[in-house]
Structure 1
Amino acid sequence: MIQVNIHEAKTQLSKIIDQACRGEEVVIAKAGTPVVRLTPIAPRPSRRQFGALSGKARVDQRFFEPLPEDELRAWE
């Protein structure tokens, strides 16, 4: 764990951000008392890929059959 005071965090911000992104725990303290923890944001998931579920899902003939009346009313 790395603990830095606010003044040092302001002057070394790029450096401590890099450390946090590498997985190190970075704590910023005020007058020696820890006040915040710097953590990286998880990367955005990749874009959707067509065919990603290919072979994993099946649609049989029942999918194309009309729904019963009571189920149709529930969707209204």
Structure 2
Amino acid sequence: MDRTVNVAEAKATLSELLDAAMAGEKIVIARKGKPIARLEIVEELKPRVPGAAKHWKIPSDAFLRPLSKKDRAWLEGEHTDEFGISKPKRKPKRSR
């Protein structure tokens, strides 16, 4: 069964909620009675193993070849849709 708490209660009792989540309890945070987030424990990541990708078959000259026109256009942001129509580059919005 999920335990539902409102935002104010979650702010006030965060450390207790973290302890409950670590104990396996499922906690849902709600705003005005509507669930908006779930508090859950994070599984530890497995360490990377050296040589795990040695079975990949990458040609030795793969990084030395010049890019095709299509690949270069894609990297430069000149994408096309399914009809072959070029989509314009989107300029980043300036922060004020």
The TM-score by the shorter chain falls in which range?
A: 0.5 to 0.7
Sequence identity percentage: 37
Residue 21 of structure 1: how far off its partner (Å): 1.2
**TM-score normalized with structure 2 length:** 0.47
Following the alignment from structure 1 to structure 2, what is the Cα–Cα distance between the partners of residues 9 and 35? Answer: 12
> What is the 5 A alignment of 1:2-13?
2-13=3-14
Find the aligned partners of 1:46 and 1:22 in 2 and give their Cα distance.
Answer: 24
The unaligned stretches of length 5 or more in structure 2 are 50-58, 62-96
Greater fraction of residues in strand = 1
CA offset digits 1:20-59 (Å, max 9, x no partner): 11111100000111000011111244697xxxxxxxxxxx
1:30 counterpart letter in structure 2 = R
After the TM superposition, which residues 14-25 of structure 1 pair with which residues of structure 2 at under 5 Å, given as runs?
14-25=15-26
Structure 2 counterpart of 1:38: 39
RMSD, matched Cα: 1.8
Q: How many residues align?
A: 51
**1: CA distance, partners of 2:45 / 2:38:** 21
TM-score, length of structure 1 as denominator length: 0.58
Q: d(CA) in 1 for partners of 2:33 and 2:43?
A: 29
Counting helix residues as a fraction of each chain, which structure ranks higher? 1
Unaligned 5+ segments in structure 1 are 49-73
Could you tell me which amino acid in structure 2 is paired with residue 43 of structure 1? E
Which of the pair has more CA radius of gyration?
1
Runs of 4+ aligned residues of structure 1 deviating over 6 Å after TM superposition are none
